[in-house]
Amino acid sequence: MDSRNSAARGFAERTALNSPLQGTAADLIKLAMVRIDAALDDGGYRAAMLLQVHDELVFECPPEEVDSLRTLVKRDMEGVLDLKVPLVVDIGVGSNWRDAK
């Protein structure tokens, strides 16, 4: 943008840099969600993927599936694509979303 208004120019520059990053992140989590959903079906899990909020996924699962679900989700999210910079996934567990943080 060639605006003389530095605020408008700065906004346009930040948007131009940020948009591809946000789009790529959205694509990565969608791909991970598809793979996790298939793995849940294939593995006979009773767990269910309930919600996606930005870069977070929320699941509901019986207590006996927590450890195996944690392993599955971490593996599939971190390994969604082979990247030069590793994706690192943190997993929280709780009786509700707030407690899982």
For the segment 38-90, what is each residue's pLDDT rounded down to a tens digit? Answer: 999 999 999 999 999 988 999 999 999 999 999 999 999 999 999 999 999 99
How many CB atoms sit inside 10 A of residue 54's CB?
8
- Of 4, 54, 3, 58, give the one whose Cα is nearest residue 30: 54
For the segment 18-41, what is each residue's pLDDT rounded down to a tens digit? Answer: 777 788 889 999 999 999 999 999
Q: Which residues contact 2 (CB under 8 A, 6 or more apart)?
A: 9
Q: What pLDDT is recorded for position 46?
A: 98
Give bridge partners of residue 51 from the DSSP assignment: 58
Q: What pLDDT is recorded for position 62?
A: 97
Which one of 3.30.70.370, 1.10.8.60, 3.40.50.740, 3.30.700.30 gives the CATH number of domain 6-100?
A: 3.30.70.370
Is this structure's pTM higher than 0.95? no
